Amino acid sequence: MPTRATLDLEIGNEIVLVIRDPTSFIRTLQKTEPINLRMFGGIESNTFGCVGFFLFWIPVPLVEQVPLALYDFYINLYQEASLAPLRELANQTHWHLFIVDQHSQQRRFIEFRNTFRLNEIIETMQKGCANIPAGDFDKAKTSFMARRTLNDLFCEGPTKSTVTEEGLSIFHDTYALPATAEDCSPLRKARFVGLFHESVSHHRANPSVSHFDYTKQRLQRLFGELGGKQVIYLDVCHWINLRHVWLQSALAQPTYDTILRLSLGLLNKGAILCPVSGPIFQELMKQSDPKSRAATANLIELFSHGVTLVPLEEAFVHQCYGFLVSKDGAESTRSWRVSKIGLWFDDRPVKSAWWSEEIADIWDKVSVDLRWELRVCDCQELVGRGHSPVSRERPFFEKWASLPAQQKRMRRSFRDLTRECRLDLAKEFRHDAVERLEPVLGKLIGQGWLERLDTELATFGAADDFGKIPCCEILAGMCAAQVFRGGKIRPNDLLDFLHASMGIPASAGYFCDKPMECLARNKLLNLDKVFGVKVSGDPLELLGYLKQVDADMPAKSQGSG
């Protein structure tokens, strides 16, 4: 059975094969040497429709014609979603086979060089059923399995299917697939082939849904799916230490080994999510070694599933919308919205890989589907190829960098520094808010919303409390606190402030480095208390936090029952 797994962080997510044998025969599979894997595929048409099948077998050592074990696998050749994992498997340089027992415990692991020519078999199968109606796949499969045993399939197929016209076995090394070309766009990877066809079919069948509504619906579903998860924000220092453990580096620390094991268990239970943010991705791209960067990206993907916190300017717009539509003017320190990392990029890389005139009318929605499936490692590849995420210059950063020198010449209070920084942010992002909110609030509230927005932004700039625009309140407050304490404002400091402004309002646990913990929990800010968030730079506290999440899970499930 093909399934998805991450075996090597430098490679990332891939398709593996799993044989699950609950019988005592698994002992034979454990002892057999050598173990080889053979495969062929075919189709059957019956009264219910068309079925695609694959027969995998392990031959008796040194006797290729006699199968030691036979396994079948069936696919719906009319559904690209079914074919996508196989297309991805076909383009891997190696196949990995796990043999597991009835308790899903691994008994054996074997790696095979990919000489299986799976793509050619899939194409032949699709051509064979091109003129056959789709029918009912489940009934067609049941009918086929009732009439054909595995031995029938073996006797009828392999002697013909495994030899080319030249007399070479299809498993001969001559047919080994080369590694993916370095100049191949990540958007041309095999998994996007099925996705593209599925997306085109879906939007051809649903032409009335606008691009805006479709994107909104996907984001709303995503947000709803994350409702039961504990959101934990990890600064880059923790990602790097987790990568050391995964790669078994000499720099690996025992505490992070335990953190990784516990985190993976909680991820498998669906208990936690560690989203990506712009600052995390920006710091990821600073890693100069491509293999280390790819490994870190794949680890982040494993923990985040490509889910991101929205950029600062988008968070600003959302939080402005919140207080403008609130009937009682209620304020909240808890605020977060999510997206997918591929949506950070504009249309150009997707368009160069997949656009055609035939799909011009539905292209915007197809583009969303393709970018939605981009992984963190894909995105760092795109940046390496010159495609940067949509971003903007932040002129207030340069202004803030000069604040420490000004503070030395003329000392100002923390409150005054905070208000200046808040006004800088309100001025910077007001245009975004007006542009994005006008089409919505003009209908929802009517005239006067713009004047109210300006009034609220002026109030925000003059205040020093929290709850109106949390992302900017944290960003401005941290800058002001750093300057007031006599610190410098360097580019890395600004990145740290951005981490906090994104992560603290969105998470239940915010784990950074020690200097950032000291700043966030400084009596000038008390961000942990204001936002009700666990803030720490100690890996032992991160481990304790994860243990508590794990311990709380049974109690939560009992309470929900």
Residue 175 has pLDDT above 60, yes or no: no
Angle at 254 between CA 253 and CA 256, to 5 degrees: 70
Distance CA 291, CA 273 (A): 25
Mean pLDDT comparison of 180-189, 276-285, 385-394, 441-450, highest-scoring range:
276-285
Chain-centroid distance of CA 423 in Å reads 35
pLDDT score for 542:
97
In 3D, which of 515, 529, 519, 537 has the Cα closest to residue 482? 519
Predicted pLDDT of residue 6: 80
> Which pLDDT does position 84 carry in this prediction?
83
Pairwise CA distance, residues 312 & 278, whole Å: 9
The pLDDT > 70 percentage for the chain reads 89
CB 75 within 8 A of CB 69: no
Reference 355, options 188, 221, 115; nearest CA is 188
pLDDT in tens, 425-453: 999 999 988 988 888 776 666 678 888 88
> By three-state DSSP, how is residue 59 classified?
strand
12-53 pLDDT, tens digit each: 778 999 989 888 888 888 888 888 888 878 888 888 888 888
Contact 312, 278 (CB under 8 A): yes
pLDDT of 119 strictly over 90: no
pLDDT at 63: 67
Q: How confident is the model at residue 489 (pLDDT cuts 50, 70, 90)?
A: very high
- At 217, which helix (H) or strand (E)? helix 211-225
Confidence band for 327, pLDDT divided at 50, 70 and 90: low
Average pLDDT, stretch 176-201?
Answer: 69
Q: What is the pLDDT of residues 214-256, one digit of tens each?
A: 999 999 999 988 888 999 999 999 999 999 998 888 999 999 9
* Six-digit token string for 135: 């029918």
Contact predicate 1/73, CB 8 Å: yes
Residue 446, pLDDT score: 66
DSSP 421-467: HHHHHHHHHHHHHHHHHHHHHHHHT-TTHHHHHHHHHHHHHH---SS
The string of DSSP codes covering 310-371 is PPHHHHHHHHHHHHHH-SS----S----EEEGGGGS-SHHHHHHH--GGGGGGHHHHHHHHH
pLDDT exceeds cutoff 60 at 78: yes
Average pLDDT over residues 505-510: 94
Q: Answer whether residue 205 shows pLDDT above 50.
A: yes
Predicted model pTM: 0.75
Query: What's the pLDDT score for residue 52?
Result: 87
Instruction: Give the pLDDT confidence score for residue 444 in this predicted structure.
Output: 64
Q: What is the mean pLDDT of residues 332-346?
A: 81
168 falls in which pLDDT band (50, 70, 90)?
very low
Average confidence score pLDDT of the chain = 85
How does residue 370 score in pLDDT terms, banded at 50, 70 and 90? Answer: very high
Please report the beta strands in 239-326, taking only residues with DSSP state E, as ranges in sequence order: 272-273, 307-309
Out of 207-211, 312-316, 447-451, pick the least confident: 447-451
**295 vs 157, residue with greater confidence:** 295
For the chain, give the percent of residues with pLDDT over 90.
Answer: 43
